[in-house]
Structure 1
């Protein structure tokens, strides 16, 4: 097991300690800048914590494949460092998978979960092949195809180029590989039925990776799930449609914050 000291993770916290708290978990191959535009739309109503997951951004590369339990432990350490008692946890794609596993392990710390671009988990075959390509040829071996698939029919504009060049391409290949190889060992089927907190599945209407049938299947697994669609969002909805995602997060946090007050 590796260290779980949040001081070695690159994290940021904004907002009052008395405000409703939100923790943001980015997608695979991203970093905390993934959330910049959405946070700008959310205003100052919330206390927001976000961090570069291990092996991404300015956080250190894990010393071995980083398991789901270790990702959950990282989230818990950031929560403590951010002085958050209870929170809504928001994750995109595999970040959302980590969020559900965190909610399962620490239900007393979670008011609700927002699972953006819902997925069962990191597909073992597809992601093992992707990790091998990255180790052989660096991030450039997958960058164009991965971002094109994630953006789908959305414009290949400056936001597309920024994601490819300044987010995905800046990810450490070894960090990417070790993250994938740890995450493919788990998917949400094992725990979904035990998640009692409210879960919003915030899905991109233009997402061709996690389609509507997958979203419906996940919704059927979770005891307290609702579904909302982001019309101009593809596979990275908070990055691609930040205003719409900010509105959805704001409304859900407000509603569940009231409902879970004790």
Structure 2
């Protein structure tokens, strides 16, 4: 197992892992996590791709073993976190893949640092906050404040996974991630999701891009299809029999699509 590395930047400590060949010629692949998960969310992808790619994973601020920030954060901060990690590991350019919160982070990173993104895959996310997002986050924060993150875990798994997958090993693993997310870290990240609009980032993408969604992720397949239509040259990809975290729920199908995307867009 790859050892954790702690990177200190801007007053916060980030847990990271780097997998794959040590060769300087190996292309880089960076993964960014969803809300209430940690870097192990990508274990199946690392197992499938680390023979060919150097892979960076990290815990978002306030999640896993990374520091909880002292105040609210936004996607500017989350994108800058990723830029700082690129600097720390000497990554000039990489394919960036993110899901949910991490998908938006990846999109904002590509908008802010286009020269550093070889290709982008944004998964199960939106380009702007949905109507009523503030009230939805108030409700979830209230539930966790009253009953702890354990109280939030059940509803989250039911929302993220297909009904016949809510008691699988993958769902139980994600449930543990939710339960162990620091409450304050969850709240800080939820603040970022209340209000954002990166429509201009999407329209201005200069790298190859794919917008991917689990087929069972509510309205998001339609939303992400529209995002693909709005991004120059982007494609839409749908993963069957999966909800909000298709890389964990149906990793075999997700890995096939990711490998095909890397083959089309890689160096």
- The 2-side partners of 1:127 and 1:227 are apart by 28
What secondary structure does 2:213 align onto? strand
The corresponding residue for 1:58 is 65
For the 8 Å contact 2:140–2:152, the answer to whether it is kept is yes
Q: 5+ residue gaps in structure 2? A: 1-7
Aligned to 1:10: 15
Partner residue in 1 for 2:256:
247
| 2:164 match | 154
Matches of 1:80 and 1:7 in 2, distance apart? 15
Deviation at 1:209, TM superposition (A): 5.3
CA contact (8 A) 1:154 1:234 kept: no
Find 1:231's aligned residue among 223, 240, 259.
240
Q: Distance in 2 between matches of 1:142 and 1:100?
A: 27
How does the TM-score come out when normalised to structure 1? Answer: 0.90
In 1: Cα distance, 2:77 partner to 2:9 partner: 8
TM alignment of 1:166-205, pairs within 5 A: 166-205=176-215
Q: With CA pairs under 8 Å and 6+ residues apart, which has the higher RCO, 1 or 2?
A: 1
Quote the RMSD (CA, aligned, Å): 1.9
User: d(CA) in 1 for partners of 2:241 and 2:59?
Assistant: 26
Which residue of structure 2 lines up, in the alignment, with residue 105 of structure 1? 112
SS at match of 2:79: helix
TM superposition shift of 1:157: 2.2
Please tell me whether the aligned partners of residues 62 and 68 of structure 2 are also in contact (alpha carbons under 8 angstroms). yes
**Structure 1 match to 2:154:** 144
Q: Is the 8 A contact 1:209 1:235 kept in 2?
A: no
Deviation at 1:7, TM superposition (A): 7.5
Higher alpha-carbon deviation: 80-89 or 23-32: 80-89
> In terms of mean alpha carbon deviation, does 101-110 or 115-124 score higher?
115-124
What residue in structure 2 maps to residue 41 of structure 1? 48
| 3-state SS in 2 of match to 1:8 | strand
Provide Cα deviations, 1:157-211, integer angstroms capped at 9, x if missing partner. Answer: 23222221x211010011000111133231332422112211111211122252x
Matched residues in 1 for 2:140 and 2:227: separation? 24
**Structure 1, gaps ≥5 residues long:** none
The question of 1:72 aligning with 2:74 is answered no
